[in-house]
Amino acid sequence: MQAHEIMINEVYKVKESDTVRSVIEKFIQHRISGVPVVNDKNEIIAYVSDGDIMRYIGKHKNLVIDSIFYIAVVKGDNEEFEERAQRLLNLNVMEIVAGKVFKVSWDEEIEDIAAILGKKQIKKLPVERNGVLVGIISRGDVIRHSFKSLL
């Protein structure tokens, strides 16, 4: 089974010129947790997720983890949550995306897709054909299609 047989064709996406505000609006409106970032040619150039948002708005200066109770204690971060969140909304989406974007070709085999999702510990993979975004595949899509004929 290949990517194009299990992918979702309707993909919510943002452009590289969009602000984080538009990303969060899509997250809320469509109840999603990540979107591909594309250029004017609809080529996938990044992926922004709820994890990217969390890294930005969370307190992160002088983070100490108490290994006995597994509690995060932050000292010395005086900026308020609302201030960080407000500043975040006006940033360009490309300022918060992390690292390399993982994507698959539309003819990628389901076993390879499962391996990428598992090894890279990511939830979704954008699907491209001839360099252009054509779909998206989640962990749930792989599981549903892998086991539906076996149950």
pLDDT of residue 85: 82
What was the pLDDT predicted at 113? 96
The 10s digit of each residue's pLDDT in 90-121 is: 999 999 898 789 999 999 999 999 999 999 99
Four-CA torsion 81, 82, 83, 89, nearest 10 degrees: 110
CA distance 37 to 136: 12
Alpha helices (runs of H) in 7-147, residue ranges in sequence order: 20-30, 50-57, 81-89, 110-120, 139-147
CATH number where 59 lies: 3.10.580.10
Q: Is the pLDDT of residue 71 over 50?
A: no
Q: How confident is the model at residue 147 (pLDDT cuts 50, 70, 90)?
A: confident
Full residue range of the structural domain in which residue 119 is found: 3-147
Domain tally for the chain? 1
**Which residue, among 136, 118, 147, 144, has the nearest Cα to 4 in the 3D structure?**
136
Average pLDDT over residues 54-82: 56
The Cα–Cα gap between 100 and 87 comes to 24
Closest CA to 43 of 64, 77, 13, 82: 13
Could you give the CA distance from residue 112 to residue 100 in angstroms, rounded to a whole number?
Answer: 18
